[in-house]
Structure 1
Amino acid sequence: MDKEKEDVNSHQVEKTEDMEDSMETYARIMAEHKPNPRGPGYIKLYALSGLIFLCSTMNGFDSSLMGSINALPNYTSYFNLPENGNASTGIVFAIFQVGQMSGALFIWMTDWYGRTWHIFFGCLGVCLATIMTSLAPNLPTFIGGRFLLSFFATCAHTAAPLYLVEIAPPAYRGTIAGMYNTFYNVGSVFATSAVYACHKYLAHHDNLDWRIPLWLQLVCPAIVCIFIKFFPESPRWLVAKDRHAEAEAILIKYHANSDTAHPLVQLQMREMVANLDTQHVASWKDLFDLRVLVESRSSRYRLMLNIAFSWFGQFSGNNIISYYLPIMLNGIGIKDTDTKLVLNIVYAVVGWVSSIIGSRLHDVVGRRKMLMATTAGMVACLSIVAGCAAGYTNYGNKTASTVSIVFIFMFGATFACGFTPMQPIYPAEVVSNKMRAKAMGTFKLTAGAAGFLNTFVGPVALSNIGYWFYVFFVFWDVFELGFIYFLFVETKGFTLEELDAIFEAKNPRKASVEAVKARKRLVQETSNAA
């Protein structure tokens, strides 16, 4: 037993020493040979990433689409749904979370046949499911189509951030991969604008006001479907398949602007090969083998962060806006459907701009500092919203109601800045290469469970306890802030392989913070020496 402990300790020491050497090498490379982020390779990488971002529009499009068309009389009358909702209305919304959780069970297949194929099949399935829902003659067919749509959309937009995290260079991973989830708001704006226009001009044309927006769900997945197989595979997946030359060629082209002798390429290839899991070949049996997620202390710590952040991203109070904003708008006299749709568009645009800013700040400020600062901001916003909502509910103060709406918008902007860019990215960063596919499946299962809970518990809680629901989230977000401070690991600027050594430390959070400080000193010393 003592011999085993000695071997483990020796292995951890070797990993720490390798990490320190790697950090020093990386710092020197970035100080002396930093690739031009506006070079031809990087421009191609940005264009490639831009198309992958379209996968993120599918969730935003669907959530805003269903929330909007559910207010259209033609839609509710066609499927015989009551305006105020019942079990049938609930299942139309909740089936999306069921499909999401089902689709998450198959993300392991990205380790089998590759990231780009999984994105392709996911987008193709979304196109077929969209046709099914758009032509649905009755409610059961519509619900079945929505299940398939969610299932295949999950395949695409779970594999997409995984692909971006693995192909993006370390220095800009937060910006490039973080931009992915900001396109949730693009989908939301697209859907809400489409419903607004169709309702305004086609409300009297035989259900076209809700049929056309359904058909528009084809646009983004169809574009991805056409072009995705022209893109390179993930270099880390290629290394795992013993296709080292192809992986190196991708790094040379996209990370070093086609400089075949660039030291950054050599460093990354060396790290990827060193972390290669040669003992396992992906197969269908992997669906039932989850040992990789819990096989060691570091694996369990990584999984804990993956699950915690996926839950925080769905259950920080952001769900209450979708349900409570219409009620608050009614309360201050805004009852016009067109006006509410316009405000939804404005909210989505504000969220998109904030999330774009946040995606860059995560690479400048760092993940932990951004998440702590924005969580504290969310606590402040929700506290004000709770107080103003209480003033409106208890005293009928419309000024308080207006202020609460302003701070709901501010809360949404704060959440979008801190959490939206990192929702699918941080859970992928904190897990190892061999864990990543299954961990992303876990991420989607957790997010789906949180979304399912929001769908059913949120409206019930709001109708029974009103503004106290805000108070609950104030205390919950305080808990999140403490959790992030004490346990979250900083991932900014590290290669995915360097993070392996971070998680082997006794206290990974402390090790990551100290490593960031050490890297800053190294960069400063190298710059001064140059």
Structure 2
Amino acid sequence: MAGGAAVSSGGDGGYVHLIDPQRKWYNNRRLIALNGWIVLLLITSSTNGYDGSMMNGLQSLPQWRDYFNSPSGGMLGLLNAIQNIGCLAAYPFSPYLSDGVGRKYTVMLGAAIMCIATVIQTAAQSVGMFIGARFLIGFGLTFAAGAAPMLVTEVSYPSYRAPLTSTYNSLWYSGAIVAAWTTYGTFKIDNTWSWRIPSALQALPSVIQVLLVWAAPESPRWLVSKGRDDQAIKTLAYYHADGNINDPLVQYEYHEIRNAIDFDRTVAANVGWKALVATPGNRKRMRIIIALAFFSQWSGNGLVSYYLNRVFDSIEIHILIPQLLINGILQIWNLAWALLASFLVDRIGRRVLFLTSAVGMLIFFILQTVCSAQFAIHGTDAAAHAVIAFIFLFYASYDIAFSPLIVSYTVEILPFALRAKGFTVFNFAISLSLIFNQYVNPVALDAIAWKYYIVYCCWIAFELVFLYFFIIETKNRSLEETAALFDGEEAAQHIQATPADIKYDEHEKSATDSLHENVIKA
């Protein structure tokens, strides 16, 4: 049986015509179950979002400041940055765990570590104990956050893969919302439980994952890479085709996965850390991935994410209740925009969303800078209110690309053999950028106040130019088709799937009988 190339030149993936139009996420019990498992993985991002918003809230609580002797400057930077230092310590091990023991067990290990760490954080008796717990949270988060989005993208039903994977990073704000409103609800408690309760709630997503994630499906791509083809195709069939191993979509997915992995191993020798920069296609990937990692944290958002109280101080909003209310409302605003963009990634496209986001961020951050300058010079209430308004508009622009797309775009442009290592490089770059932000931002804000915003205005302009020249459109393609965009014709010719002219017919199985025999032999 002749095979059709897996990579199409147009925007529609070769699998699209094989999808049963009657099989939807809301009317198929196995897709509902699959998406339930995916939600369990998506909440990994909530833990990360909870941490950033919680630290924002704790800095506004006098009970927390008094207990830890009002940390400022370098100590305050360390309290925020130590989680990312913990992440850095775990990066050397993360890809080997994901590729070695599997995606889901790596998530479970990371969640277990975070459960232990949040107990220590909640019981902290000194600033050193608090810092040590946050280091351990970062260490565990690296394992869970490194494996979870890869498992989401590798197990999702094809037509829902991009929105679901984009939802992963968008749910950062769900954790941020819970943390923001928790600190708002506990600030009236006149003892240390005002900050210990938010610290304890940080463990909730991890506890749920430890209890349930062991029963989730494993990545079919990981199973194929370990020679467990029978389990891989059974997983694809169970969740993507109601158990029908002969379904044309299942056969297409299986053969495309297997041929892509074989190509990486034998034809391209696309394995190991050195392979990340060994070919023009991989160098192009790494240039984009590292840039997106730094852009996601160096676009001015770090000022509000970790030092919103300093921004409030600069426009003389010193009262605690308005600070906490604005923080809570901002997180809800962010989640709404990020989720909206997540569901539009395959309709509008990645490139359009990235460019629109950069243009909006540049415009609104410039206006925020101007209004901050006006308040510093003239002290008018109107300028202060305008700063708050432009923070919200800036984040709406940020959220339409840099919340949903940085993770999903990274994992989809990487071939399977390099996905864990490439995603680790991405997370490592984010941690480096965050550590810089968390140390430099408070010092710079203290030293030059609103003038520091001008640096970010220039940087966002650079981001816009970079995105225009280097972002490649990937909408409506499978993972293997997307990866082949970077590797040229050789990859496209080797990644073969079931014939492109097979149409879905639940009564027609003869066309795939020979393929089924090949699977059993494999």
Counterpart residue number, 1:253: 238
Counterpart residue number, 1:130: 118
Alpha-carbon contact 2:13-2:476 (below 8 Å) kept: no
Choose from 457, 477, 480 the match for 2:440. 457
Counterpart residue number, 1:3: none
Q: TM-score, normalised by structure 1?
A: 0.85
Alpha-carbon contact 2:356-2:397 (below 8 Å) kept: no
Change (3 A) 1:278 1:176: same
Q: Secondary structure at the match of 1:497?
A: helix
Q: How many percent identity over aligned positions?
A: 31
Counterpart residue number, 1:194: 182
Distance 2:438 2:322 in 1: 24
Displacement of 1:489 in angstroms is: 1.7
Amino acid at match of 1:162: M
Q: Is residue 87 of structure 1 aligned with residue 70 of structure 2?
A: no
Amino acid at match of 1:76: R
1:229-308 → structure 2 map (5 Å cutoff):
229-277=214-262, 290-308=273-291
Distance 1:389 1:279 in 2: 52
Q: Is residue 387 of structure 1 aligned with residue 365 of structure 2?
A: no
Bigger shift: residues 267-276 or 484-493: 484-493
Bigger shift: residues 110-119 or 148-157: 148-157
Distance 2:162 2:21 in 1: 21
Change (3 A) 1:330 1:294: closer
Displacement of 1:427 in angstroms is: 1.2
Change (3 A) 1:243 1:197: same
Distance 2:311 2:243 in 1: 55
Displacement of 1:327 in angstroms is: 4.5
Alpha-carbon contact 1:116-1:228 (below 8 Å) kept: yes
- Unpaired segments ≥5 residues, structure 1: 1-14, 512-521
Alpha-carbon contact 2:257-2:480 (below 8 Å) kept: yes
Change (3 A) 1:269 1:279: closer
Amino acid at match of 2:241: A
Alpha-carbon contact 2:245-2:251 (below 8 Å) kept: no
Choose from 77, 100, 108 the match for 1:112. 100
Choose from 481, 494, 511 the match for 2:464. 481
Q: Secondary structure at the match of 1:313?
A: helix
Amino acid at match of 2:32: I
Change (3 A) 1:20 1:364: closer
Task: Point out which structure has higher relative CO (alpha carbons under 8 A, 6+ apart).
Answer: 2
Displacement of 1:370 in angstroms is: 0.8
Bigger shift: residues 313-322 or 427-436: 313-322
Amino acid at match of 1:58: T
Distance 2:479 2:25 in 1: 20
Q: TM-score, normalised by structure 2?
A: 0.87
Q: Secondary structure at the match of 2:479?
A: coil
Amino acid at match of 1:77: D
Distance 1:381 1:21 in 2: 37
Q: Tell me how large the CA RMSD over aligned residues is.
A: 2.7
Q: Secondary structure at the match of 2:407?
A: coil
1:33-44 → structure 2 map (5 Å cutoff):
35-38=23-26, 39-44=28-33
Q: Secondary structure at the match of 1:275?
A: helix
Counterpart residue number, 1:5: none
Q: Is residue 68 of structure 1 aligned with residue 53 of structure 2?
A: no
Change (3 A) 1:127 1:110: same
Counterpart residue number, 2:497: none
Distance 1:300 1:34 in 2: 41
Q: Is residue 494 of structure 1 aligned with residue 477 of structure 2?
A: yes
Distance 2:160 2:13 in 1: 18
Alpha-carbon contact 1:172-1:363 (below 8 Å) kept: no
Alpha-carbon contact 2:281-2:486 (below 8 Å) kept: yes
Change (3 A) 1:34 1:503: farther
Change (3 A) 1:106 1:174: same
Change (3 A) 1:443 1:57: same
Displacement of 1:465 in angstroms is: 3.4
Amino acid at match of 1:309: L
- Unpaired segments ≥5 residues, structure 2: 493-499, 505-522
1:371-520 → structure 2 map (5 Å cutoff):
371-505=354-488
Counterpart residue number, 1:216: 201
Change (3 A) 1:437 1:323: closer
Choose from 293, 299, 308 the match for 1:310. 293
Displacement of 1:35 in angstroms is: 3.8
Q: Is residue 26 of structure 1 aligned with residue 15 of structure 2?
A: yes
Displacement of 1:131 in angstroms is: 1.2
Distance 1:320 1:194 in 2: 21
Counterpart residue number, 2:512: none
Amino acid at match of 1:314: Q
Q: Deviations over 1:420-471 (max 9, x none)?
A: 1122221111111000111111011100011011111222233333333333
Q: Secondary structure at the match of 1:420?
A: coil
Change (3 A) 1:18 1:210: closer
Distance 2:91 2:405 in 1: 18
Amino acid at match of 1:459: P
Distance 1:374 1:21 in 2: 27
Q: Deviations over 1:256-301 (max 9, x none)?
A: 34444321111111111101248979xxxx9xx5112122221111
Distance 2:479 2:154 in 1: 8
Change (3 A) 1:60 1:324: closer
Distance 2:443 2:83 in 1: 19
Displacement of 1:306 in angstroms is: 1.4
Displacement of 1:26 in angstroms is: 2.5
Displacement of 1:21 in angstroms is: 9.1
Q: Deviations over 1:338-357 (max 9, x none)?
A: 22111110000101111110
Q: Secondary structure at the match of 2:406?
A: coil
Alpha-carbon contact 2:49-2:175 (below 8 Å) kept: yes
Amino acid at match of 2:81: A
Change (3 A) 1:193 1:279: closer
Counterpart residue number, 2:157: 169
Distance 1:240 1:37 in 2: 28
Distance 1:505 1:388 in 2: 48
Counterpart residue number, 2:513: none
Bigger shift: residues 433-442 or 86-95: 86-95
Distance 2:311 2:281 in 1: 46
